[in-house]
Structure 1
């Protein structure tokens, strides 16, 4: 379940609340009874594993197999051409 940050507009009290997506937003400050406001900040997202970054496909040779394949075909055709 996600954790939401709240701040009171009257007393400035700040706290986090773990709520379901379907739960209504909190509206009353537990300290003074004032109005609460949801706080939005940067979200810490971490992508682990392969395939999330542009360079991941290159690490496994995603773009490099074309180069060895063409050099192998040239190497095979060169001796045949030299023998002809």
Structure 2
């Protein structure tokens, strides 16, 4: 199950809670009952580079095909 970030509305503390994607966001902390709000976070992965193509994982061709 995915983990989501929640912020305590009183203290500002950040919580990481596990819940199903189908569940509604929590409005109160499940253990303490304190009011919380779901916050957005960056994804855990970042794709960098010019693109994602078949040729990206192959060795670069030097352009020389041998001497004729």
Interval containing the TM-score (normalised by the shorter chain) = 0.5 to 0.7
* Structure showing the higher strand proportion among its residues: 2
2: CA distance between counterparts of 1:42 and 1:65? 38
Normalising by structure 2, we get a TM-score of: 0.59
* Structure showing the higher helix proportion among its residues: 1
Change (3 A) 1:58 1:15: closer
* RMSD after superposition: 3.3
2: CA distance between counterparts of 1:25 and 1:67? 59
Where does the alignment leave 5 or more consecutive residues of structure 1 unmatched?
A: 76-84
Question: What is the count of residue pairs matched by the alignment?
Answer: 64
Where does the alignment leave 5 or more consecutive residues of structure 2 unmatched?
A: none
Larger Rg: 1
Higher RCO, 1 vs 2 (CA within 8 Å, ≥6 residues apart): 2
2: CA distance between counterparts of 1:27 and 1:4? 13
Normalising by structure 1, we get a TM-score of: 0.51
